[in-house]
A and B are shown apart, each in its own frame.
Chain A
Amino acid sequence: MGVTRFTEEHEYVSAENGVGTVGITEYAQEQLGDIVFVELPSVGAKFHKGDEVAVVESVKAASEIYAPVGGTVTEINEALNGDPGLVNSDPTGSGWLFRITLDDAGELDTLMDGDAYAAHIA
C-alpha cells in the first residue's frame, strides 16, 4: 500500500513501488478556480526536490508546481491537454499531473502526512 505526502505549496505525491504520482490538492484547486491550461514536463526530464516542474493556469492566475521529490519524470497525464478541468473535478484521481521516480525515498519523510496537511490548511 502506498503513502501520500503533502507539500506546503499544496502538491501531493502518492508513492508506490518507487514511483510518485504528483498533483495538486483539493484545497489548491478550490483556491485556483477554473483551470484552463496545464503545462507539463517532458517524460525523461530530471528534477531535484523543489524544482519548478509544471504550471497550472486558472482564469485567475498561473501557478508553478514544484517537484515534491527529486527524480525522473516517467509519465505525464496527457488527458489534461484536452480537459484541464479534470484537475478541478478530480485532483487526486484522474486529475493527476505527472509521475516521477523516487530517487531518494527519504525525501518523503520531509513532507507532511494527511493530518499535518489538514492542520496546515485549517
Chain B
Amino acid sequence: MRYLPHSDADRAEMLGVIGVDTVQDLFRAVPESALDHPPIDLPDHQAEFAVEAHMRALAGANRAAGDGPFFIGAGAYRHHVPASVDHLIQRSEWLTAYTPYQPEVSQGTLQMLFEFQTQVANLTGMDVANASMYDGSTATAEAVLMARRLTRRQRVVLSGGLHPQYRDVVRTYAGTGDDELVCLPSSPEGQRDIISELDETTAAIVVQTPDFYGHLRDVKSLADAAHEKGALLIVVVTEILSLGLLEAPGALGADIVVGEGQSLGNALSFGGPYVGLMATRSNFVRQMPGRLCGETVDAEGRRGFVLTLSTREQHIRREKATSNICTNSGLCALAFSIHLGLLGEAGLKRLARLNHARAIALADALARVPGIEVLNQTFFNEMTVRLGKPASAVVDALAARGILAGLPVSRLEPDRPELDRLLVLAATELTTDADIAALAKALQEVLA
C-alpha cells in the first residue's frame, strides 16, 4: 500500500505549471555547499518483524535505570509512577485538541490545566502559575526574560549552584551580552557569593534549591538582599518533590519560581518530554509568559474554564507577546496533576520524607567508604562527594559492575579539572538498602 497522494502524472502536471522539469530544480537557489550532507546509510527495506527484532537487539544494549542500583539524578529523577497514572491520562475527557481555544469542546483539558496551575501555585507558595512550559531549563530562561521586562533592567546573575545545562539554555535564550548575563562558575562551594554581585542595575538573581550539588539554599536572605537593590529573586527547583518537605520559596520571598515537574507522574524517558513549571506573584501576571487557564461562569451561571489573559500571547500581541512560546506540555502536566492528586498533601509529604530518609542512608554509607568525602551539610535527596580518583573513571568502572553510580560533574563541566573528582548522587524511594550496600562495596574496591 502506498501513502503518497500524488501520482507521477500529478507531479508532472504541477511541475509543468511552475515551469520546471524536476523537483530538484526547485532547490537550485540553495547553495550547493548547504546541500552537501553525507548520504544517510540505511540498509534496504525489511519485513516489519525483522525491523522489530533489530530494534529489540539495539534496545538490549541499553542499561535501563530499573536494571540495577541507580543513583543518577541531576535534574531527572527516577521515581515510582503508579500504573493508575498511565491509565487515567488516557481517558477520553482529556482527548481534546491541545490548543483549547474553543472552551465549549475542551472543558476536560481546561479543567485539568486549572487544577495543575492550582497545584503548582500551592507547591511553590505563589499566587499564580501558568499551564506549564517545555521543561525546567526553558522555564528558567523565560523567567530571566520576564524579570528583565518587570524591572526594565538587563543584568541577570546566575548562581554557581544552577544546573550547568540550565545555565547553558539561559545563555542561548537570554544571553545578549557578557555584562548582561553573569554566570558564576559552577561550584559546590561559595554559596553566598551571588549576594556581592547584586547592584542597582541587576534585574534578577537566579538561584537553584536544592542546588545542582544538592545543597539547600537560604532563600529568605537571598530574597532580602535582592529586594534591597530593587532586583527580583528567581528560584529554580529541579526536584519538585523537595517541596513536599521544604518551605515553599514563595513564602520566603521569591518573586518567580520555576522548576522541572518530571518527578511527579513522568518517567525518565531518555530526558524528555518533561514539564516546566512557572509561578509568580499576582501583580506580575501580565508579564508572565505561557498559557493561563481561568475559572468563570457560562451564560447560565454554570462553572466553566477558559484560557485567560491571552493578550500576553503571540496570537494577539504579536511581536510584543511575553514569549514566542505559547504552548505547554499538556500530557506531561496531566500526568503530574493526576500523580499529585493521587498522592494528596499527606502522601506528598510522606513520599518526600521517604526520599530524604533514603538519601540520609546513602550519605551515611558513602561517608564510611575510605577515600570519599561527602561535601554536603544540607541536602534533600541528592548530594555531592569528592572521590580519591577522577569521578568519570570510577563511574565507568561501576557501570561495568552493573551499578549506575551517579553523574560525574566533569560530564557537564569538561573544562574544569578542579571539579573532576566530584560525583553527584541521588536516592529516591526506589533506592533499596541492597542498592546502597552494593554501591558502597563497589566504590570501596574501585577506590582502593
A interface residues, Cβ below 8 angstroms from B: 37, 39, 57-58, 61-62, 64
Give bound CA distance, A39 to B322, whole Å: 14
Q: Chain A interface secondary structure, helix, strand, loop or mixed?
A: strand
Q: Are A57 and B320 in contact, CB atoms less than 8 angstroms apart?
A: no
- Nearest to A59 among chain B residues (CB) is B311
Contact string against A for B residues 215-231, beta-carbon threshold 8 Å, 1 for contact and 0 otherwise: 00000000000000000
Give bound CA distance, A37 to B311, whole Å: 11
- Residue from A39, A58, A61, A64 in contact with B286 in the complex, judged by beta carbons closer than 8 Å: A39
> How many inter-chain contacts with C-beta < 8 Å in the A-B complex?
14
Q: Is B316 an interface residue (CB 8 A)?
A: yes
Q: Are B286 and A37 in contact, CB atoms less than 8 angstroms apart?
A: yes
Q: Is B63 an interface residue (CB 8 A)?
A: no
Q: How far is the CB of A22 from chain B (nearest CB, A)?
A: 19
Give bound CA distance, A57 to B322, whole Å: 14
Give bound CA distance, A62 to B319, whole Å: 12
Task: List chain A residues, Cβ under 8 A from B316.
Answer: 61-62
Interchain Cβ contacts under 8 Å between A and B, 9 examples? A37-B286, A39-B286, A57-B311, A58-B311, A61-B311, A61-B317, A62-B312, A62-B316, A62-B320
Q: How far is the CB of A65 from chain B (nearest CB, A)?
A: 12
Q: How far is the CB of A36 from chain B (nearest CB, A)?
A: 8
Task: List chain A residues, Cβ under 8 A from B320.
Answer: 62, 64
Q: How far is the CB of A9 from chain B (nearest CB, A)?
A: 14
Task: List chain B residues, Cβ under 8 A from A58.
Answer: 311
Give bound CA distance, A64 to B317, whole Å: 10
Task: List chain B residues, Cβ under 8 A from A39.
Answer: 286
Top 9 A-B pairs ranked by shortest CB distance? Answer: A62-B311, A57-B311, A62-B317, A61-B316, A61-B311, A39-B286, A37-B286, A64-B320, A62-B316
Give bound CA distance, A37 to B54, whole Å: 60
Task: List chain A residues, Cβ under 8 A from B312.
Answer: 62
Interface residues of B in 266-321 (CB under 8 A from A): 286, 311-312, 316-317, 320
Give bound CA distance, A100 to B311, whole Å: 27
- Nearest to A41 among chain B residues (CB) is B152
- Nearest to A57 among chain B residues (CB) is B311
Task: List chain A residues, Cβ under 8 A from B286.
Answer: 37, 39, 57
Task: List chain B residues, Cβ under 8 A from A62.
Answer: 311-312, 316-317, 320
Q: How far is the CB of A61 from chain B (nearest CB, A)?
A: 6
Q: How far is the CB of A45 from chain B (nearest CB, A)?
A: 8
Q: How far is the CB of A19 from chain B (nearest CB, A)?
A: 23
Give bound CA distance, A57 to B313, whole Å: 12
Interface residues of B in 395-416 (CB under 8 A from A): none
Give bound CA distance, A61 to B318, whole Å: 10
Give 11 new A-B contacts, CB below 8 A, not counting A37-B286, A61-B311, A62-B312: A39-B286, A57-B286, A57-B311, A58-B311, A61-B316, A61-B317, A62-B311, A62-B316, A62-B317, A62-B320, A64-B320
Give bound CA distance, A62 to B316, whole Å: 8
